[in-house]
């Protein structure tokens, strides 16, 4: 086997994925970039307008608000979700039957589609008929209008999302935990390290890759949050829960403004890309630092 062959046969392994990827994702993306320079609806030929769509976006307070909402809800979701998922994985990484059942319980919400999740949480959150409303009333408090008060609606959507998305990060952490070699724990035990020390010196460093993966994935996913806001509140009240993807959905499907929606999509794409790449770059540095040690 010559060196050159070895170099190219690696490409063969990634080629099947890459070809589909280029055709079905990158090509449509580039088409979107091209259309974002046009004023065009779903059926017209459109006309070239240069960066006019982007200029219009910069001045569009509704788009601005949707970006702010998207950032806020991502910040509300990702840290909480990561910590809870990690804690659960630590508690449930056991070979007992009860741990297996509980893993199933915490995963169970993830099997539901967003349509059903929002339907269920409507019953929890609605002030007049909801579960939380009943609870509040039982304590003698005025039920909180979670879905109609501008400052409560994002936290309400965040709680809904956390409840729904807990299962998968928990699975990732469990998979990460099980990769830690038992010998490392045995060595720690020989050193008579306390549980806390073992956790900080063995478990946490070994989970670094998984933690980063979870945070990156969740960040990228939550910046694209859509269904919860569309189905629970339709972006209301007065746009207080309109997320960026809901904005571009309304623009494309409701108003047929393909060019403008594409421009919004490119902006959102660049933002998510910047965040994801920053995270990846930071972790890359962290990894190199680790390897060099």
CA atoms within 13 A on the CB side of 215: 18
The contact mask relative to other proteins for 95-134 (x = CB under 8 A, - = no) is x----x-xxxxxxxxxxxxxxx--xxxxxx-xxxx-x---
Which residues on adjacent β-strands are paired with residue 47? 39
**231-270: contacts with other proteins (CB under 8 A):** 232-239, 244-245, 248-258, 260-262, 265-266, 268-269
| Of 25 and 204, CB closest to other proteins | 25
Q: Which residues contact 189 (CB under 8 A, 6 or more apart)?
A: 198
Least distance to other proteins from the beta carbon of 77, Å? Answer: 16
Contact 234, 153 (CB under 8 A): no
Distance (Å, whole) CA 118 – CA 131: 14
Report the alpha-carbon angle 143-162-175, nearest 5: 155
Q: Which residues contact 1 (CB under 8 A, 6 or more apart)?
A: none
**201-220: contacts with other proteins (CB under 8 A):** 209, 213, 216-217, 220
| Of 22 and 79, CB closest to other proteins | 22
Q: Which of 82, 93, 136, 155 binds other proteins (CB under 8 A)?
A: 93
Least distance to other proteins from the beta carbon of 51, Å? Answer: 15
Q: Which of 174, 214, 218, 222 binds other proteins (CB under 8 A)?
A: 174
> Is 16 a residue that touches other proteins (CB under 8 A)?
yes
In angstroms, the first-to-last Cα distance of the chain is 35
- At 39 the three-state DSSP class reads strand
The contact mask relative to other proteins for 31-60 (x = CB under 8 A, - = no) is xx--x---xxxxxx-xx--------x---x
# of chain residues touching other proteins (CB under 8 A): 134
């Amino acid at each position: 086997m010559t060196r050159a062959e070895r170099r190219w046969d690696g490409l063969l392994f990634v080629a099947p994925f890459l070809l589909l990827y280029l055709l079905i994702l990158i090509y449509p993306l580039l088409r979107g970039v091209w259309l974002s320079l046009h004023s065009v609806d779903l059926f017209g030929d459109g006309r070239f307008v240069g960066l006019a769509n982007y200029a219009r976006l910069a001045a569009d307070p509704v788009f601005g608000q949707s970006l702010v909402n998207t950032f806020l809800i991502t910040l509300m979701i990702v840290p909480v979700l990561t910590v809870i998922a990690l804690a659960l994985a630590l508690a449930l990484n056991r070979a007992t039957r009860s741990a297996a059942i509980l893993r199933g319980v915490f995963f169970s919400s993830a099997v539901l589609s967003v349509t059903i999740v929002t339907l269920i949480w409507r019953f929890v959150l609605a002030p007049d008929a909801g579960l939380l409303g009943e609870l509040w009333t039982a304590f003698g408090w005025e039920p909180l209008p979670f879905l109609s008060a501008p400052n409560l609606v994002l936290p309400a959507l965040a709680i809904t999302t956390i409840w729904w998305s807990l299962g998968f990060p928990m699975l990732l952490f469990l998979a990460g935990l099980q990769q830690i070699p038992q010998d490392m724990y045995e060595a720690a035990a020989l050193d008579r390290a306390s549980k806390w020390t073992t956790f900080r010196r063995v478990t946490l460093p070994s989970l670094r890759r998984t933690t980063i993966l979870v945070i990156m994935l969740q960040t990228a996913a939550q910046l694209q949050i859509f269904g919860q806001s569309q189905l629970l509140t339709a972006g209301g009240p007065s746009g207080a829960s309109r997320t960026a993807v809901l904005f571009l959905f309304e623009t494309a499907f409701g108003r047929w403004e393909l060019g403008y929606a594409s421009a919004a999509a490119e902006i959102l794409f660049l933002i998510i890309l910047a965040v994801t790449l920053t995270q990846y770059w930071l972790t890359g540095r962290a990894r190199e630092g680790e390897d060099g040690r």
